[in-house]
Structure 1
Amino acid sequence: MNGDDLREVLRREMAEATSPPPPTTAAALGAGRRALARRRVAWVCAGSTAVVLAVAGFASVAAPKGDVYQPGAGPQAIGHPEATDTKQAWPTGPDGKPQEDRTARAGSKYDQGVRLLDEVVSVVPPGYTAPQDPANQPADQRTLRTHQAQFEDRVNGVDLWSWMTSVAVAQGQEIGHLIVEVHAAGNQLPTEPCALARQFWGMRGECQVETVGAAKVGVVTKPADDNRLDQWAAYRHPDGVVVYVAQGAKLDENRPALEKLPFTVPQLAALAVDKRFHLT
């Protein structure tokens, strides 16, 4: 199993572990493949006995249902539900052929995902580090840095994309993680800041609106009943691009959690507005 496959499985696990998914536009992966992959990624249950941190390569995407947004499944986010076949062709890759699935593995969209990873690493605050995966890392160990570009849907002939990256953030032996997920303009996510925040990965919680310049950012400061992440901010840019920035004190069950989150609530809100995360 390569890195893309692993991220694909992780994202699917997180989506399936929340609420029953609504119909989606993705093609369903084989049940046998999912069962095999789940056994190989059981370690990802970070901080919840009922929820596995999944970022399944962003390979299938749940459409909004009420005020719950299911993360795309089919990476990793931090993930990425069952899907139905819409008979749509996957976007064409740089080789002139349709992609194998939702995940871009080359081309301009893939390159944007790589750039997003670099930008996330660059904002890790002083006093913390962003460790890299060791060479020849065992397949059963949690990946410390991941990125994903995913085709979400085709609306009026326009391809809609999303990107996600997850970066481990360490302080000494303690280790947590930082996740950034971006949805291109044309997405159907809400406009109101807290409604937007509460749709991230189907998680809910106590939300407050932070003001960053002229921008209004929804920040969930305390999850309701889901401990995959501790805080997350959501912002819709004027052009419709949506940015989520999330932080968690615990990376997985095998390593000590951070005693203090890397960012304060105002800092997290400012990151959601940061132009470096504005992808189109």
Structure 2
Amino acid sequence: MEENELRAALRDTITLHPEPPPMESKTAIAAARRTAMRRNLLAGIGSAAAILGITLAVIPGQGQTTGSGTGIQVAGDPSGASLPFPTETPSWADSTPSAGEKTGPSWPPENSGDATADTGPHYQNGKKLLTAVVAAVPDGYTAKTGSTSDGIPFRSHQSTIEGEFWRNMAAVAIGKGDGVGELLVEVSEPGNDLPSDACALAKQFWGRGGDCTPVTVGKAEVGVIHEGDGTAWAGYRHSDGTVVYVMQATAPTYGDPATNGLQPLADLPLTDAELAALATDASFR
């Protein structure tokens, strides 16, 4: 297939498929917050999806023939339904399905169509983690309830299956005076492939990297990283393989201050030593 034929096929695809309606701002912000909290999205899922779309567009037998006379067929789902794009490669992906075997994602029963638990024990683990995070809010700060003026909850939690292990996350907006910041904890259960070295581990948090300072807590070594003046996090790996990240920020990691009127905290709530100690806290395991 030559370049002009490919260009014609892509043009027909765009012409035959109308632009989807825009999302409401509240829905868009909530969706963006949920996906931003998953570090693997920083690795370029959008690029992979774009390549997949182009590949399907030029594979014969994947849809209906366009009217360009090139013989190229455009990918399409006759039912018009859209399937969720998993955030991690499930364990079944490397196996070869037998004839007639179902090849779609097969998440656990507590997951309704994607990698995030909606019910069941892992969903409850996320709720328990949120309770522990609220209890860890430092003195002088309050754990906010309710939601922002644009409808984003001040407290949230989620549990997702990441291949062979589960990752739980919980976040709470914390207030002091007119300022609002955030305390967030992410826990990867044993079976994860995160590094053992304290600083190498800290740099893996959402793939953000940064200059790390090792902090000693008893006999434990914790990696602490600052990102500017308004964000810092600590990472610690327990002896059983459980990995805990604790992040603090002078402003929530979601929403638009110009829209919801939130003012940032004047300073980070925790010192590096306090942040590191919190990462080793047994209540987050």
TM-score greater than 0.5 by the shorter chain: yes
Q: How big is the shift at 1:60? A: 1.7
Pick from 223, 227, 245 the counterpart of residue 223 of structure 1: 227
Whole-Å separation in 1 of the counterparts to 2:227 and 2:32: 24
* Count of aligned pairs: 206
Residue equivalent to 1:104: 117
Residue equivalent to 1:82: none
Residue equivalent to 2:282: 275
Residue equivalent to 1:262: 269
Counterpart of 1:141, as a letter, is G
1:12 corresponds to 2:35: yes
Residue equivalent to 1:195: 200
Q: Which has the higher contact order (CA 8 A, sep 6+)?
A: 1
Aligned CA RMSD, in angstroms, stands at 3.1
Call closer, same or farther: CA 1:22–1:238 in 2, change over 3 Å: farther
When Rg is computed on C-alpha atoms for both structures, the one with the higher figure is 2
Counterpart of 1:250, as a letter, is A
1:182 corresponds to 2:182: no
Normalised to the residue count of structure 1, the TM-score between the two structures is 0.65
Call closer, same or farther: CA 1:269–1:22 in 2, change over 3 Å: farther
Call closer, same or farther: CA 1:127–1:182 in 2, change over 3 Å: same
Counterpart of 1:11, as a letter, is R
Q: Equivalent residue of 1:211, what SS?
A: strand
Q: How big is the shift at 1:214? A: 1.1
Which whole-Å deviations, capped at 9, do the CAs of 1:8-46 have from their partners, x for residues lacking one?
Answer: 54232465884524999xxx9xxxxxxxxxxxxxxxxxx
Call closer, same or farther: CA 1:191–1:217 in 2, change over 3 Å: same
Q: Structure 1, unaligned stretches of length 5 or more?
A: 29-58, 64-85, 155-159
Q: Structure 2, unaligned stretches of length 5 or more?
A: 1-23, 53-85, 91-102
Call closer, same or farther: CA 1:7–1:181 in 2, change over 3 Å: farther
Counterpart of 1:143, as a letter, is P
Which whole-Å deviations, capped at 9, do the CAs of 1:248-273 have from their partners, x for residues lacking one?
Answer: 00125231111121111000000100
User: Quick check: 1:204–1:223 contact (8 Å CA) kept in 2?
Assistant: no
Question: Alignment identity in percent?
Answer: 39
Whole-Å separation in 1 of the counterparts to 2:87 and 2:40: 11
Call closer, same or farther: CA 1:142–1:233 in 2, change over 3 Å: same
Q: Equivalent residue of 2:143, what SS?
A: coil
Residue equivalent to 1:208: 213
Call closer, same or farther: CA 1:5–1:214 in 2, change over 3 Å: farther
Whole-Å separation in 2 of the counterparts to 1:209 and 1:115: 29
Q: Equivalent residue of 1:205, what SS?
A: coil
Residue equivalent to 2:14: none
Whole-Å separation in 1 of the counterparts to 2:265 and 2:223: 24
Q: How big is the shift at 1:87? A: 4.2
Q: Say which structure is richer in helix.
A: 2
User: Quick check: 2:234–2:275 contact (8 Å CA) kept in 1?
Assistant: yes
Q: How big is the shift at 1:116? A: 0.4
Q: How big is the shift at 1:143? A: 2.0
Residue equivalent to 1:146: 156
Residue equivalent to 1:91: 108
Whole-Å separation in 2 of the counterparts to 1:119 and 1:187: 22
Q: Equivalent residue of 2:275, what SS?
A: helix
